[in-house]
Structure 1
Amino acid sequence: MRELVYYVAVSLDGYIAGPAGEFDAFPVEGDHMHHLNTRFADAVPTHIADVLGIEPTGSMFDTVVMGWNTLAVGLPTVPSPYRHLRQFVFSRTRGEADIPGEHPNLTLTGEDPVEVVRRLKAEPGASIWLCGGGSLATVLADEIDRLVLKRSPLLFGDGIPLFAPGAYRPRAFEEVGTTAFESGVVVSEYVRRPSA
């Protein structure tokens, strides 16, 4: 069964974006970028990968899941940010008419995210990338098999948390690797501990 991987940038105080969804404070230059763009090439937006000459191979991820607010960051300019992946966008209030123009490989759904992810996990293929945001991550917390956190040396003070407040129940993960870069970015990877 394939994994659901929450791969995301996060500030030192635990935010994945500012209060209005801003993420431009996260550093996109520095020695960490080569590592990330090589290992996680599938997570680079298609239009950016084209410009940078990055070839997403589908070997890490072949599917991405996200909430409406994550998709909305690129609208109306980029209605299908990861055209090279199967994209599932969750919203109970938005419809296809809210996505302008062509949006290949993108499915907007009001289905229960847990049911959709469980279905996707049962299919053959590469890992499934949980792109964001914090509310969707909270809903899918019990389905997350791996966390890859790109911690930047920033304090946001407010914003969208890594996980939105939800029903408290500890979930144990085990660190399997951490790399610190001269840029100050630290990439840490964790896998879910098996239930006792």
Structure 2
Amino acid sequence: MRRLVYYVATTLDGYIAAPDGGDPSGAEFFPLTPDVIAFIVEQYPETLPGPARAAMGIDGPGKVFDTVLEGRASYEIGLAAGLTDAYPHLHHLVFSTTLESQNPSVEIVRSNALDRVRELKAEEGKDLWLVGGGTLAHSLLPEIDRLILKQNRSVIGSGIPIFNGPFQSHMFHPVDETLLDSGMRVLRYDRA
């Protein structure tokens, strides 16, 4: 059975973006240092957007994921950059009750998010990558099987939390961690 994996960058204080919800990629609190880029290319090259993959000469299927799930606000970051499908190499789903279709290759899920994820998990294939945001992650929390947190050495005080919603308790146990030279720690947890 496929797993739903929340693979996301975070600050030490648990935020995935600044309060404005803008693109956190390369922000001073999420620096894209050479070791971070090398780690992503080696371990999760399919998580790079299509234009970055093309610029780096990366092609072919994903190593870990073949499907990407994201919320409307995360998707709109790509739209603002002119990308109606930032991940054309993956099956791309956007969860939104209000978004109109921007690209026929991107599936818009308007309701029953948990049911759709359960259907995807029952299909053959590689794992499902939950890219964000915090509100979608919170709504899918009962189905998240693994957390891969790229924990940066920054504290920003407020912003978009990893899980943005009302209190609910779920336990995960540590699997492993990798410390990169830049100070980013990649933490892997599986559902307990």
CA contact (8 A) 1:135 1:164 kept: yes
Give distance in 1, aligned partners of 2:190 and 2:60.
Answer: 24
Length, aligned pairs only:
187
SS in 2 for 1:118: helix
Residue of structure 2 in register with 1:7 after alignment:
7
Q: CA RMSD in A?
A: 1.3
Give distance in 2, aligned partners of 1:27 and 1:82.
Answer: 21
Aligned ranges 1:12-91 → 2 under 5 Å: 12-22=12-22, 23=24, 24-25=26-27, 26-76=30-80, 77-91=82-96
CA contact (8 A) 1:62 1:126 kept: yes
Structure 2: unaligned runs, 5 residues or longer: none
Give distance in 2, aligned partners of 1:39 and 1:56.
Answer: 14
What whole-Å deviation, never above 9, does each CA across 1:41-66 have from its counterpart, x for those lacking one? 11111111110122352231111110
Q: How much does 1:158 deviate?
A: 1.4
What whole-Å deviation, never above 9, does each CA across 1:15-51 have from its counterpart, x for those lacking one? 0001112303211123232122211011111111110
CA contact (8 A) 2:173 2:189 kept: yes
CA contact (8 A) 1:4 1:127 kept: yes
The one-letter amino acid of 2:150's match is K
With normalisation by structure 1, the TM-score equals 0.91
What is the percentage of aligned positions where both structures have the same residue?
40
The one-letter amino acid of 1:176's match is V
SS in 2 for 1:70: helix
CA separation of 1:59/1:181 partners in 2, compared to 1, >3 Å: closer, same or farther? closer
Residue of structure 1 in register with 2:189 after alignment:
190
With normalisation by structure 2, the TM-score equals 0.93
What whole-Å deviation, never above 9, does each CA across 1:94-118 have from its counterpart, x for those lacking one? 212xx3xxx3531112022101100
Give distance in 2, aligned partners of 1:104 and 1:41.
Answer: 24
SS in 1 for 2:78: coil
CA contact (8 A) 1:63 1:85 kept: yes
SS in 1 for 2:174: strand
SS in 2 for 1:12: coil
The one-letter amino acid of 2:8's match is V
CA contact (8 A) 1:88 1:108 kept: yes
Structure 1: unaligned runs, 5 residues or longer: none
